[in-house]
Amino acid sequence: MKHRALGAVLFGVGVLLLALAAGLVFVVTPALAKLPYDLDSSTSVAEASNAKFLQINDGSIKINDGNLRSTVLVTQLPKETANLTGDLDGKAVVWRVGQTVERVDNKQLVSAYGAELALDRVSGAALEWDGQWLDDTGEQDKGIKYAGQIYKFPFHTEKKDYQIFDRDLRGVRDAKFAGTENIKGIETYRFEQVITDEPLNLDSRRLTPLLATFAPGATDGKVVYSNKRTVWVDPVTGSFIKVREVQKKVLTPNVGASTTLLDADFAYNEATITASADRAKDSRDSLRLLSVYVPVGLAVLGLALLVGGVLLSRGAAAAAAGEARHRADAPTRVEEPVGGADPATDEQVEADRQGGPLSDEIPPASTNWRTDEESTVPVQRSAVDDEAEKR
């Protein structure tokens, strides 16, 4: 009975562990594979050596040469996220992003922009939100339409093409999967986006000063933009491990020679690559622990306990059945009547004691026997008696 109860307990615990393993795989892991609501701020730094760039400082417009440093700060906005409604509620988070580009030698600001946008917590893609804006001209553009991947790829990124949003073009362009590459111990997926000589939509307030400075005789013109953007992504978390952008902007007037406004090769510096890889490793280790190692361990232990419980219960049942069969096959035991022996048996024993016909006493072989007339019981006679009778 005890073994059967123990088997039932083991079976129940095994089922519970299997249910817990399934819960980790189908409930907990999907919840972890989302952008959290309490994401810490992060900073990435890209550097460009020997760059050519446009610099406007105190009304002076010049083309300079030197080293540039781009710093991007990403901060999550909990209040704005909590105020999301409709389809965005629970599905998106709001980020504020700021970028500055400065000269390395004298720390002078070359360019800057700020933005707020909503990102899908799973795919990392931008979602349409009425509070989004972009400021790269000195005033907020609230008509901006963010889309595609911007600062992150999806959790469990696939080996396929994605679309990356380009801030200068105000739109998305294809980023093709170009292979894998090991960076800091992580097998990353490499994506390449190639933009070639596409005109930028600049208003007259930005274009007119450029034409006046670099093409005084021109009445019109355009700025064409090229960029080869390469992104190395951790496929588990979708985080950027490394980013490189080879950018070029050229002013092309309707009269006169073209002027290169930007020619720079920006790439994450070593510190940023290391920090990005470390964050990705921590995140993917947590995901792997709760989605693979712990569920597998619980499932194996649960199956072992379940099988052990079944075997133990069956063994106890078989033992009980065998004992029942043994009892059924055993001979019936006759119990003596309560109150003493059988009276008939007592009379028989007394008769034997008195020498009755059922006596089992056997006389010696030399004994002579005679029969009295008044008794049927043989009487033993001596030799003296025989001699007297003859006389």
The count of other CB atoms within 10 Å of the CB of residue 20 is 16
Q: How many helices (H) and strands (E) does the chain have?
A: 8, 14
In the chain, what percentage of residues exceed pLDDT 90?
58
Residue 26 has pLDDT above 90, yes or no: no
- Taking alpha carbons only, the member of 117, 43, 113 closest to residue 77 is 117
Averaged pLDDT for residues 215-225? 94
What's the pLDDT band for 203 if we cut at 50, 70, 90?
Answer: confident
Which has more pLDDT, 10 or 283?
A: 283
91, two tokens: 């599905």
0.75 surpassed by pTM: no
Q: What does the pLDDT read at residue 4? A: 62
Which has more pLDDT, 140 or 27?
A: 140
Q: What does the pLDDT read at residue 378? A: 41
Model confidence pLDDT, tens digit, residues 329-382: 656 555 555 554 455 555 554 555 554 444 444 444 444 444 444 433 344 444
Q: What does the pLDDT read at residue 373? A: 41
Model confidence pLDDT, tens digit, residues 281-322: 987 666 665 555 556 666 676 567 666 656 666 655 566 666
Q: What does the pLDDT read at residue 58? A: 80
Q: What does the pLDDT read at residue 370? A: 43
Averaged pLDDT for residues 17-33? 56
Average pLDDT, the chain: 81
Q: What does the pLDDT read at residue 391? A: 45
Q: What does the pLDDT read at residue 374? A: 42
Which has more pLDDT, 91 or 313?
A: 91
